Amino acid sequence: MDNELSETGRYEGLIMADHKLVVDATGIPYSITERGAADDIVADRYQLCDFTTERFFHLKHGSNRISVSHDGLNTVKMMVEGKISYETV
């Protein structure tokens, strides 16, 4: 946030070309799943995460940048969704 690294995460596994990896922090419990072409859950991928890093993180107010890299042969297609929430006192 604001040009300062605050979180890192790592997933080590293979995702088929027509599948996607979904990291979901909108419900309890949080989940990391592989989904098929019809958006159906194919497998729970939580255990394939690097547990020395963060698996879930919340964006903070300010300027946020998310960087993704991979060791695969194909181009990464990525979509990020955010949800704004706030509380008043």
Q: Record the pTM.
A: 0.68
8, 54 in Cβ contact below 8 A? yes
Mapped onto helix, strand or coil, the DSSP state of residue 42 is strand
- Which pLDDT belongs to residue 1? 60
pLDDT value of residue 38: 94
Determine the pLDDT at residue 44. 92
| Tokens 């599948």, located at residue | 19
pLDDT in tens, the chain (89 residues): 667 777 777 877 888 888 988 888 888 888 889 999 999 999 999 888 877 777 777 777 777 777 777 777 777 777 777 777 777 77
